Structure 1
């Protein structure tokens, strides 16, 4: 893979992984800290797990999601019972592949993280961190030219034939998974000297005007904006805008 092509892959993966954060059931809110070559990927240890799947269509290749021990435990201790990592991580795989265009994603395969990453050795990896700790990796590689073979004509069953029972919808498995929701009024940057000078009564100015909507984040991903209200003496937020991936922050 040429340097230019690899740079394009890393840029594409960063955008796709950012979108996948909203459906990735992590043990804590995470952010994309960096995108790098697979050989430079941090080691999540022997207790993590990887789920990989090939895809074909507008692009051909393989996508892999690796989660660490804490996130794996979150899936195994779901209120709905232990979740199959293949099913629980498939929405993240689908989100990454969707960023490449019209592609068909094959069934996911569970495996050892190191072995799974070795199968995308010429690809790129997005590193998801929280508080300096690596929570997950999302790997992507393109292995062939786009598939231009015409799709076969669909076959139709005779009228009255009952439809075969399909697999349980993947998102249904995730409905009871706990995710952290954060409401952010604003941000600012301060030097260490300014931080040490803070005392009770100090005023810290934020980068947002009074009356501006607050951001609603799920696992660090912006999903909505709203206004702060009071309900039964508790703070709450009234949603005024849903933020789509296309709209951005």
Structure 2
């Protein structure tokens, strides 16, 4: 059984894991101490859990995050209620895959760590080991191929400039989408907190955001920044007065 990781695989996994570590909700600050084949990944115990997701695009493959018992318990007993590991680890999965460029991440799935590692091993994957004070807190694994997903043979690519029509022959217009419901969120600011700080929150705690007082709030539609405005009160309800429309793609969400 090989215990070596190729230079290319080590580079990809290290970069992905370093990025994911910045948003991974660990029970204590950790650091990457090694990159090993999936077959040699440490066992985090019977109470550990794994979340994996497939990705496709510039590369095809699977990304996995395994967390130990302490981190899992912190998620399940957070002050805001039990957090679903799939949702809590999604930012780490997304951040890891973002380092590959041009990839789309599918929905995550909670799995047994041994099952997740076996899937990575079968695809020749490698795992970054996250330790703190000599204890392994998490594993961040990646397995990929260099070939992008093939186009379905039954889906022809239209020639440049050719009109796109629906299956009924009617032209596609925005009228088809006008009654679609979308989530609109107003964001005053953001911050990063460790699980330790999150668990220490009590009534009266002050959480400092990354935005100065009086700065405009962001207006997001399905997570995409579309405008900015100022918060006002209308009939004793909060509202927002739009002051700026953001050009699509001009300012990506951080």
Which TM-score band applies after superposition, normalised by the shorter structure?
A: 0.5 to 0.7
TM alignment of 1:203-214, pairs within 5 A: none
CA distance in 2, matches of 1:112, 1:176: 27
Q: Distance in 1 between matches of 2:134 and 2:196?
A: 19
How do 1:1-249 and structure 2 match up within 5 A? 6-121=6-121, 122-143=124-145, 145-147=147-149, 149=151, 157-158=174-175, 161-165=178-182, 178-179=195-196
> Structure 1 unaligned runs (5+)?
169-173, 182-249
Per-residue deviation, 1:10: 1.4
| Inter-CA distance 15–179: structure 2 relative to 1 (3 Å threshold) | farther
Could you list the structure 1 runs, at least 4 aligned residues long, displaced by more than 4 angstroms after superposition: 150-157, 174-177
SS of the residue aligned with 1:71?
helix
Name which structure has the greater RCO, CA cutoff 8 Å, separation 6+: 1
Residue 79 of structure 1 and its aligned partner are, at CA, apart by: 1.1
Question: What is the TM-score of this pair, normalised by structure 2?
Answer: 0.61
Unaligned runs of 5+ in 2: 159-163, 167-171, 186-190, 199-254
TM-score by length of 1: 0.62
Query: 1: distance between equivalents of 2:12 and 2:173?
Result: 38
Equivalent pairs, count: 175
Contact 2:63–2:140 (CA under 8 A) maintained in structure 1: yes
The answer as to whether partners of 1:17 and 1:138 remain within 8 angstroms in 2 is yes
Superposed CA deviations along residues 64-120 of structure 1, whole A, max 9, x for unmatched, are 000000000111111110001001001000111001111010000001000011001
Report the Cα distance in structure 2 between the residues aligned to 1:151 and 1:15, rounded to whole angstroms: 34
